[in-house]
């Protein structure tokens, strides 16, 4: 589990703590403990679970989403709901004096307000998801499958590419394949650090996707190597696209750390037709040979 997003929600974390502390303070000030014999333990378990699960949901939202309107509304809504849920649990252990009966009368109001806020948040989330789906369309062309996505680049891994390529072979679809390899990436890592190397991989992946059609599929093949599947595309068009990609990447003015100096880095490419008569392993070794050849020519 990655908790890095949690630390970007300090304001919301403070809000949750304040609201829950307020609930406990109100009950402590106005309530008196019930005798153990009159506690309904089944109710305690039921209401306690609701309260605990609501807190888990708040935590899940905070570790999963970046700061923004939807996140704020979700956390605020859930916190108001958990305020009522916590009063409900504490209710099981305390009873209120006549002067404080207003507390049990109003305890469900924050929950109702929280549900309204959450409903609005879910509506905005829906809108946001539609926009994200449009952006991701080229990366997740056929279906969603989280296990097959590379964590660093957010592109599909090689196995997914192999699945899609063999399906196209079986269907007899005319297609081409491009492989891109970053030049001297080990040196890049040595000079700017592995983390900056990861960031460079991520940014290049975005650029590759931006240059593709909605029907194309870009995957991270291995290390600093990418493979692109182009259905219904002949070799001249594939070569042209490979040149466009090389040019786009060569022109990225990458900035390492807080530096203003731009780093320009290059990739080399190789193309081949996806033939029904050769295996994917043969196709890839042919493409790898082409890349090695280009590397030797440049050296
Ligand atoms: N930052 C980062 N580096 C990676 C990752 N995966 C592989 N690498 C690095 O990529 C480099 C690939 O090295 P090589 O295959 O020798 O390629 P190269 O240095 O680009 O050399 P040429 O391909 O001949 O130009 C190695 O230094 C790996 O450590 C990754 O996920 N993140």
Nearest to 174 by CA among 240, 236, 241: 236
Can you tell me the distance from the alpha carbon of 13 to that of 18, in angstroms, rounded to the nearest whole number?
A: 9
What tens digit of pLDDT does each residue of 238-296 get?
999 999 999 999 999 999 887 888 999 999 999 999 988 889 999 999 999 999 988 77
What angle, 0 to 180 degrees and rounded to 10, lies between the N-to-C axes of helices 41-64 and 69-91? 170
CA 296 to centroid of ligand 1, rounded, Å: 17
CA 34 to CA 57: how far, in whole Å? 30
Average pLDDT in the chain: 90
Report the pLDDT value the prediction gives residue 142, as an integer from 0 to 100: 47
ipTM of the complex: 0.95
Give the DSSP letter of residue 271: E
Q: In what order do the strands lie in the sheet with 225-231?
A: 156-157, 217-222, 225-231, 175-182, 267-274
pLDDT for 19 beyond 60: yes
Residue 273: strand, helix, or coil: strand
Topology (CATH) of 146-298: Alpha-Beta Plaits (3.30.70)
> What are the pocket residues of ligand 1 if the criterion is a CB atom closer than 6 Å to any ligand atom?
152, 181-186, 189, 194, 197-198, 201, 223-224, 295
List the domain boundaries for the chain. 4-136, 146-298
Q: pLDDT for 112-139, tens place per residue? A: 999 999 999 999 999 888 877 766 665 5
- Global pTM value: 0.63
Tokens at residue 295, please?
A: 């590397």
Angle at 212 between CA 198 and CA 277, to 5 degrees: 100
CA of 185 to the centre of ligand 1 (A): 5
Q: Within a 10 A sphere around the Cβ of 179, how many other Cβ atoms?
A: 23
pLDDT at 197 over 60: yes
């Amino acid at each position: 589990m990655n908790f890095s997003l949690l630390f970007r929600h300090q304001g919301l974390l403070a809000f949750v703590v304040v609201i829950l502390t307020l609930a406990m303070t109100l009950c402590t000030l106005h309530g008196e403990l019930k005798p153990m014999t009159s506690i309904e333990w089944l109710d305690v378990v039921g209401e306690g679970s609701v309260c605990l699960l609501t807190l888990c949901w708040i935590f899940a939202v905070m570790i999963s989403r970046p700061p923004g309107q939807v996140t704020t509304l979700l956390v605020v809504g859930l916190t108001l709901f958990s305020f009522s849920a916590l009063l409900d649990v504490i209710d099981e252990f305390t009873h209120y004096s006549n002067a404080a009966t207003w507390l049990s009368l109003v305890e469900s109001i924050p929950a109702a307000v929280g549900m309204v806020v959450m409903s609005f948040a879910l509506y905005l989330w829906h809108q946001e998801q539609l926009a994200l789906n449009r952006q991701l369309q080229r990366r997740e062309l056929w279906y969603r499958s989280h296990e097959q996505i590379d964590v660093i680049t957010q592109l599909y891994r090689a196995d997914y590419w192999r699945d899609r390529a063999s399906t196209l072979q079986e269907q007899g679809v005319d297609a081409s394949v491009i492989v891109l390899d970053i030049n001297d990436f080990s040196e890049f890592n040595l000079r700017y650090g592995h983390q900056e190397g990861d960031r460079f991989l991520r940014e290049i992946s975005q650029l590759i996707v931006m240059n593709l059609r909605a029907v194309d599929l870009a995957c991270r093949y291995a290390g600093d190597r990418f493979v692109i599947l182009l259905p219904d595309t002949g070799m001249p068009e594939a070569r042209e696209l490979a040149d466009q990609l090389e040019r786009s990447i060569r022109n990225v003015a990458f900035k390492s750390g807080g530096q203003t100096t731009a780093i320009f880095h290059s990739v080399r490419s190789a193309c081949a037709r996806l033939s029904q008569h050769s295996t994917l392993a043969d196709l890839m070794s042919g493409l790898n040979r082409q890349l090695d050849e280009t590397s030797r020519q440049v050296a």
